[in-house]
Copies of this chain bind each other. A is one copy, B any other.
Amino acid sequence: MSRSNVQLKTPKGTRDWVGDDLLLRENIFKTITDVFQRHGGTPLDTPAFELKDVLSEKYGEDSRLMYDLEDQGGEICSLRFDLTVPFARWLAMNGNVTHIKRYQIAKVYRRDQPAIARGRLREFHQCDFDIAGVYDPMVPDAEILFVIVEVFEALGLNIVIKTNHRRILDGLFAVAGVPDAKIRSISSAVDKLDKMPWEAVKKEMLEKGLPEEVADQVGEYVRRSGNIFDMLDELKSNEKLTANGDVSAGIADMALLASYLKAFGIEDTVSFDCSLARGLDYYSGLIFEVTTQGPSTPESRSKSPAIQVDSIAAGGRYDNLVGMYGKRPIPCVGISFGADRILTTLKPPTVKDSKNSSISRNLDVYVMAIGGKEFDGLLLERMAITRQLWKAGIRAEYMAKAKPKPLQQFKAAMGVPLAIILGQEELAAGQVRLKVFKPDVDEEKEPGQLVSRDNLVEEVKRLL
């Protein structure tokens, strides 16, 4: 094997995880999993790639961001783009499952423009919780919104959940005069209203072939948001809108939802925003997106009003996705938490973060040996004693050298609470020294207490 001059990096938009970041990520996963399990969630794990056909025609304009595997003879596959479509594929494959709350925490892949500082990566983590099955309208939907509130309460983040309803949105477009064939593409333009000024969104609509008066009417309809009860009153008072079947069906759903949110006491965390559209094609009912204030103060936000605040969780109802696989349809609603953006919000990345990230192991005991010039290092004895500790479930280590120097061993023991120190004479008497590390003490001058080898494990356990 020859030396190669390969580029030493991870692929664009991906990163390694180690140390504090990995610990924080695991804590986020644990917090989210606890909530999912509290609601009766069952875990599912699916392959990182799927048959390309399984993923096709599910993601609308975003499909171009899919990672395809090379055709190496055999099946044509793509990396998963989210966890929702694989869940739907699994439901379609497993006819015995008619009702389930399933959760999955896994990496997904999108060839998007990465912005690592904002937690936008090409390989990123989604934490999904979905309720599948025929139930009464909006009851599972309300539970999903409650799950969102619980997760962010547990994580200590203030949030707003923006909601909308695909049927209301479709109805508004129809009443405004958008042709059916253009609804999905106009919808994706409207979805950008939280990141772009109205003028830019309108321009996109005109470029997509919408007459200006229709675009203005769309703008008037969708640029409304607020408290869910107020918004319902406003929509209900507009006869032109309520005459549309989609709008009135959506209003009925949202009114039911509002009553359930009240029972959960979370109606103030939820807003109703007619401009929320969500890009993915498969949503069919309620849709929602979670934003947080993040690190920027209201002042700094007012200075740059066009700042892009990415959502940290999003989801919705998709009643037709499972049925697309040709088997029985199963209505579903679910939420996907973006763990990387949540992590970035909780701990904004600092300069050179990945290099300096402290990599610490958790050890209970460091086993060392100290002696004079003729000293042989007692490696076999250090091994035998460490073995005793390991067998007792104690986390322990020794220096993997035959004759390590004292200083070397003390340095390696930094941060470890206990040390066992072997010496030739003590060992001959069946004893070792057991030492509790204390801050601000010259460690080499504090010899520790003598303990019999036979009581060593109990003594260590007592001190830990």
Contact = CB atoms under 8 A, between A and B. Distances in A.
A82 interface: no
A84 to B, nearest CB: 14
A326 B8 CA distance: 9
A42 interface: yes
A201 interface: no
Interface string A383-407: 1100100100111110111100000
The quantity of this chain's copies bound in the complex is: 2
Contacts of A15: 47
Contacts of A229: none
A123 B79 CA distance: 12
Contact of A16 (B12, B47, B399): B47
Interface string A107-149: 1010100000000000100000001010110011011001000
Nearest to A95: B355
A40 B416 CA distance: 10
A394 B39 CA distance: 9
A340 interface: no
A88 to B, nearest CB: 11
Contact of A131 (B135, B379, B400): B400
A443 interface: no
Interface stretch (A235-243, A271-279, A288-296, A360-368): A360-368
A210 interface: no
Interface stretch (A259-267, A305-313, A447-455): A259-267
A375 interface: no
Nearest to A323: B3
A390 B150 contact: yes
Contacts of A70: 67-71
A5 B326 contact: yes
Contact of A22 (B43, B69, B399): B43
Which range contains the number of A residues in contact with the other chain?
35 or more
A298 interface: no
A77 interface: yes
B16 A111 contact: no
Contacts of A100: 359
B260 A380 contact: yes
A192 interface: no
Given A11-B51, A42-B361, A400-B140, A380 B263 contact: yes
B379 A139 contact: yes
Contact of A93 (B2, B8, B45, B139): B8
Given A100-B359, A361-B40, A111 B8 contact: no
A18 interface: yes
Residue among A18, A43, A259 with max Cβ neighbours from chain B (10 Å): A18
A390 B1 CA distance: 58
Contacts of A146: 387, 390
Given A97-B359, A400-B135, A401-B135, A18 B1 contact: no
Contacts of A6: 51, 53-54, 56, 325-326
A51 to B, nearest CB: 6
A34 B390 CA distance: 10
B359 A395 contact: no
List the 6 closest A-B pairs by CB distance, nearest first.
A135-B400, A14-B47, A17-B45, A139-B400, A6-B53, A263-B383
Interface of A: 1-12, 14-19, 22, 26, 34, 37-51, 53-54, 56-58, 67-72, 74-75, 77, 79, 89-90, 92-94, 96-97, 100-102, 107, 109, 111, 123, 131, 133, 135-136, 139-140, 142-143, 146, 150, 259-260, 262-265, 281-282, 320, 323-327, 355, 359-363, 379-381, 383-384, 387, 390, 393-397, 399-402
